[in-house]
């Protein structure tokens, strides 16, 4: 089939989505193109797949339409278009539940894909990594507050493209605009990854950390808690808050961040190795499951 992916190549999560899904569809024998979501037109195709962003003009150019939306960024003004989609792929249980509550029977729970950035040659260190990147939904303020209140926490590295409003507290190293090779190094170097997100569509930085065998500490809410379960990481209690989009946001308390980090830091070497093994197995299994679901979903069109 001829498939057009519609999204924005933003140099962050959406670019990863485009690359991963485009490569998978090509491997499965499809011809794949990419159309920017605000383009005035696109090449006619069999299937148009929208990744997070939506342009109703493109529906007329395709025989079938698929929505792969991150509902924490899905505005209410697009909601009335959802019943017209041929398929809706839910990356998370939360998204699937929202679709079902809206009486959208074409929704299926699919999950998504993760890059495998594992490098066993990198020596692991008892440090914590928080990858904020471009996002404003990583609860970075709560992370910084935790290190201000509890200065005996393990050393923390923050990778961010944001401008910090205040100097970081002691024990915190801030890295800006790292290249791909350094990102892979940092992902593998840090034994603990701290990911207390307000919301995620899929959670690339959570699952990439798990693929690297890290001990991930994240928010106890979907989809974060679908990846991290007892035995393969630690969950932080969260409080629900309205977002203005279809999916809610979640806040965390700095004291709970501190507790989660210490639970991860106090693992023995053997326990940490087992957590990393189970975490990595989870990510590879989810990749295989998603590939099979995509083949079946597109085969049913």
Q: Which domains does the chain have, with CATH numbers?
A: 2-114+287-299 (3.40.50.2000), 125-284 (3.40.50.2000)
Mean pLDDT, all residues of the chain: 93
For residue 203, give the nearest of 66, 53, 91 by alpha carbon.
91
Assess contact for 154 and 127: CB atoms under 8 A. Answer: yes
Q: Report the run of H or E that residue 285 belongs to, with start and end.
A: helix 269-299
Whose CA is closest to 289, among 162, 96, 113?
113
pLDDT at 8: 84
Picking from 122, 67, 73, the residue whose alpha carbon sits closest to that of residue 99 is 67
23-68 per-position pLDDT tens digit: 999 999 999 999 998 888 888 999 999 999 999 989 988 999 999 9
Average pLDDT for 164-174: 86
Q: Is the pLDDT of residue 10 over 80?
A: no
| CB of 144 closer than 8 Å to CB of 150 | no
Cα-to-chain-centroid distance, residue 143: 18
pLDDT, tens digit, for every residue of 225-277?
A: 999 998 999 999 999 888 888 899 999 999 999 999 999 999 999 999 999 99
Give residue 252's pLDDT: 95
The model's pTM is 0.92
- Residue 89: the pLDDT is 98
Contacts 24+ apart (CB under 8 A), 241-244: 243/72, 243/199, 244/75
The tokens of 179 are what? 């290249």
| Token reading at 194 | 């701290």
Q: Supply the pLDDT for residue 298.
A: 96
Confidence of residue 167 (pLDDT cuts 50, 70, 90): confident
Task: Tell me how far CA of residue 69 lies from CA of 14, 74, 285, 288, in angstroms.
Answer: 11, 7, 22, 20
Q: pLDDT category, 296, cuts 50, 70, 90? A: very high
């Amino acid at each position: 089939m001829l498939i057009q992916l519609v999204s924005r190549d933003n140099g962050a999560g959406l670019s990863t989505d485009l690359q991963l899904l485009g490569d998978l569809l090509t491997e499965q024998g499809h011809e794949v193109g990419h159309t920017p979501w605000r383009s005035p037109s696109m090449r006619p195709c069999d299937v148009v797949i929208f990744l997070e962003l939506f342009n109703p003009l493109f529906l007329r150019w395709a025989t079938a339409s698929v929505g792969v939306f991150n509902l924490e960024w899905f505005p209410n003004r697009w909601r009335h278009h959802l019943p017209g989609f041929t398929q809706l792929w839910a990356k998370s249980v939360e998204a699937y539940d929202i679709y079902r509550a809206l009486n959208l029977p074409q929704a299926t729970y699919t999950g998504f894909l993760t890059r495998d950035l594992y490098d066993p040659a990198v020596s692991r260190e008892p440090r914590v990594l928080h990858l904020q990147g471009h996002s404003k939904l990583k609860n970075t303020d709560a992370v910084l507050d935790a290190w201000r209140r509890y200065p005996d926490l393990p050393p923390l590295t923050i990778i961010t493209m944001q401008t910090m409003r205040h100097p970081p507290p002691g024990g915190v190293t801030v890295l800006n605009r790292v290249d791909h090779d350094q990102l892979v190094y940092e992902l593998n170097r840090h034994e603990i990854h701290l990911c207390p997100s307000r919301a995620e569509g899929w959670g690339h930085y959570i699952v990439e950390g798990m693929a690297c065998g890290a001990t991930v500490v994240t928010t106890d809410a979907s989809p974060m808690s679908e990846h991290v379960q007892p035995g393969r990481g630690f969950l932080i209690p969260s409080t629900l808050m309205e977002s203005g989009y279809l999916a809610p946001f979640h806040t965390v308390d700095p004291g709970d961040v501190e507790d989660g980090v210490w639970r991860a830091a106090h693992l023995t070497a053997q326990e940490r190795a087992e957590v990393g093994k189970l975490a990595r197995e989870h990510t590879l299994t989810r990749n295989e499951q998603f590939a099979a679901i995509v083949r079946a979903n597109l085969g049913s069109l």
